[in-house]
Structure formats: C-alpha cells, structure tokens
Amino acid sequence: MSPIVSQDDALLWRQLMEGDATAFEVLYRKYIGALLQYGERMGLQEEVLKDQVQDLFVEIWKSRTRVTPTDNVKFYLFKALRYKMIRYHQRSNQAIPLDEEWPQTEESVESRLLVAEQEGLMANHLLKAMEKLPKRQQEIIHLRFFQGFSNQEIADLLNMQYQSATNLIHRSLQSMRQYLQSPMVSM
C-alpha cells in the first residue's frame, strides 16, 4: 500500500521553488509535527531536534531555486531530515543508536491515535509490543504504519535494499505478534 501522493503538495512544492512564501508556510505547518515526531523517535534531544528541523526548512527556502522537484514532499522531507540527523551525529561524534530501544515518551501521538482507534487497551498492548523491538525495527514500523511510507520508500529512506526492508518489516511484525501471543501478556 503506497501512501497517497497529494497533488496539492506537488503544486505547493512547485510554488515554493518559484519563491511563494505562502506555499512554503503551508508545507511547513503541514509537516512540522510529523518531522518532529520522527526526529524524536530517532533519539535527538528536543532542542537539537527543533534546531535541525528549523535548519532543514531554512535550507530549503534558501536553496528553493535549486531543490529537487518532487511529487512526494513528505518523503523528501523525511529523507532530508534523516540525512541532517546523521550528519549532526557524525559532527558531534555521536553514534545513532539504531539497535537500542527508542526513547520513551509519556504519551506519543501514535499512542493517542491508537487508543482512540483501538479502544485503548489494544493500543497499549501494541505499543508495549513495539517497545520490545530493537530501535531499527521500531523505526521501520513507525515509517510503515504511522507515516504510511511504502516498502520501497522505506528502503530508499534507510539506504537498504527493497527485500531487506520488506524482511525487516516482516520480522518486526512477527516479533510483535509473538509478544502479543505470549501467556504473560493478558488483554
């Protein structure tokens, strides 16, 4: 299932490339929350993350006449932010801990959505199962099911082969299923 590519986004992107500040602002407001959420899941400290996302948009605006045309603005922004985070970690001599558990937040946007959609209890069990996954698997589940990226887009975003991304999604889901089926977990 591939995410629906918004024609509005493609039009806004073209307008941004032509210097339309209103189009830039609309895209910023539309994607700032998802980008911050993704960066938080990648383990950046809040202030550093906010700076990185702001810098990303400033760079896009400054280089608007040279940015790559795209029909999938969301994917473009996620990939650009991911590269920024990797560069930040390299400059600060910090490794991105992809095999550690993701930082826990009191209540994420995902948990609120799942609670509303899955009658609360099921959502808590799903989140607990996700928290048991290694960080890389949590990232791939987040991109696939919370951000709606296709397997190919995830492979491109994470610099993986398509089959490797598909296999990792499958293994992540299997691990979550095993956790949910274990006798220690009661619904």
pLDDT digits (tens, 9 = 90+) for 143-185: 888 888 899 999 999 999 999 999 998 998 888 888 877 765 5
In terms of Cα–Cα distance, which of 184, 187, 172 is closest to 132?
Answer: 172
The share of the chain scoring above pLDDT 90, in percent, equals 25
- Pick from 68, 71, 52, 54: which is nearest to 10 by CA? 71
pLDDT score for 87: 83
| pLDDT value of residue 123 | 59
Quick count: other Cβ atoms within 10 Å of Cβ 140?
26
pLDDT exceeds 90 at position 27: yes
The pLDDT confidence band at residue 15, using thresholds 50, 70 and 90, is: very high
Q: What was the pLDDT predicted at 124?
A: 65
Domains and CATH numbers, the chain: 7-91 (1.10.1740.10), 109-181 (1.10.10.10)
Q: Measured at the alpha carbon of residue 137, what is the angle toward residues 28 and 82, in degrees to the nearest 5?
A: 30
Place of tokens 């993701």: 102
pLDDT at 94 over 60: no
CA distance 42 to 82: 9
pLDDT at 105: 46
Average the pLDDT over 18-44 and give the result. Answer: 88
d(Cα 134, Cα 128) in Å, to the nearest integer? 12
Q: What is the pLDDT of residues 101-144, one digit of tens each?
A: 444 444 455 444 444 444 455 656 677 888 888 988 888 888 88
- The answer to whether 179 and 161 are in contact (CB under 8 A) is no
Confidence label for 44 from pLDDT (cuts 50, 70 and 90): confident
Is 16:64 a contact under the CB 8 Å cutoff?
yes
Q: Are 53 and 32 in contact (CB under 8 A)?
A: yes
For residue 55, pLDDT beyond 80:
yes
pTM (two decimals): 0.61
Count the Cβ atoms, other than its own, within 10 Å of residue 30: 16
Contact criterion met (CB below 8 Å) for 61 and 14:
no
- Pick 67 or 99 by higher pLDDT: 67
Tell me the C-alpha distance between 121 and 136, whole Å.
25
- Position 121 scores a pLDDT of 58
Q: Which of 161, 129, 121, 159 is nearest to 145 (CA)?
A: 129
Instruction: Tell me 71's DSSP state.
Output: S
| CA end-to-end span of the chain | 29
Stretch among 18-22, 41-45, 71-75 having the lowest mean pLDDT:
41-45
